Chain A
Amino acid sequence: MKFGVLVFPGSNCDHDTYHVIAELAHQPVTFLWHDSPSLENCDAILVPGGFAYGDYLRTGAIARFSPVMQSVKKFAADGGLVLGICNGFQILCEAGLLPGALMRNAGLKYICKQVWLRTETADSPFTNLLTPGETLKVPIGHMEGNYFCDESTLATLRRDERIAFRYATPEGEITREANPNGSLDNIAGILNEGRNVLGMMPHPDRSSEALLGSADGFRIFQSLTGALAARS
């Protein structure tokens, strides 16, 4: 089982993500530079947070054309597991691996704080250790996290239970106040049609150790390593 963490010019959570896999999950992990198409036989791809290509043009807009992303698209099409966090989620949307777009926060401010997520589905390689309705304390840190898609896409996401996480109160209530950035339907993370790609704005990589205020995010990585172990 080998993990690959993509590195773009401007990625800044690549080392955090690497640390979680290497030091906490105790699994082999390598960095994959954006300019090379090789995924080095990795079994799961992690697209970390940051500001790929400086967020120029739009967040993720230039990163999606990089050589490594062409390989990630093929990898995902073949059922490979891909997790995009924060800027990684934005890149996956721009690349067409996930539907919709992340817009400027409704309040127009950069937001960095702990939020609560309600697990909406356990039916995915990323959430199989969670229970629907269970809440997780995970931080956000973004300027463009306001999820948007058209009505028919939202209807499809709901029907197929592809909304993985929604912003909620600590008790798991979905309220307007619990929505930090104006996201449609309080959406914090979604799955692709094959359920092998997850994109989420909150940072499980920054909430995998109690020292950081919460270890809830680690359960997502544990789900992922469990799913990979079951595949091999």
Chain B
Amino acid sequence: MKAHVYVTLKKTVLDPQGQAIHNALKKMQYQGIEDVRQGKYFELRLDDTLDAASARAEVDRIAREVLTNPVIEEYTFELE
């Protein structure tokens, strides 16, 4: 099983990197982009000791306690 964890800055936090990317895209004349937010992606490969529910709980705990700083970041994840 694999977990895909996505970490982004909270909506309320300014994202200067996302803005710089957005400005670059505009300068390069890419069309139709309203906003860019950038973040981090983690791929966790899980062994078979956990069932799906336990794996979900463990990945949630890892994402919350380690992969994100709750002051500025939020996360989503999916299991595959």
Decide whether A and B assemble into one complex: yes
CB–CB B13/A103 < 8 A: yes
Q: Which residues of chain A are within 8 angstroms of B66 by Cβ–Cβ distance?
A: 57, 61, 65
Within 8 A of A (CB), among B2-53: 12-14, 16-17, 20
Q: Does A148 contact B (CB under 8 A)?
A: yes
- B16 is contacted by which of A58, A61, A65, A106 (Cβ under 8 Å)? A106
**What is the interface of chain B mostly: helix, strand, loop, or mixed?**
loop
Cα distance A93–B71 when bound, in Å? 10
Q: Does A25 contact B (CB under 8 A)?
A: no
**What is the interface of chain A mostly: helix, strand, loop, or mixed?**
loop
Closest-CB distance, A7 to chain B (whole angstroms): 23
- A148 is contacted by which of B17, B20, B67, B72 (Cβ under 8 Å)? B72
Q: Does A133 contact B (CB under 8 A)?
A: no
CB–CB B69/A101 < 8 A: yes
CB–CB A149/B16 < 8 A: no
Q: Does A100 contact B (CB under 8 A)?
A: yes
Minimum CB distance partner of B13 in chain A? A148
CB–CB B13/A108 < 8 A: no
Please give the residue numbers on chain A whose beta carbons come within 8 Å of chain B beta carbons, in ascending order.
57-58, 61, 65, 93-94, 99-101, 103-108, 148-150, 182
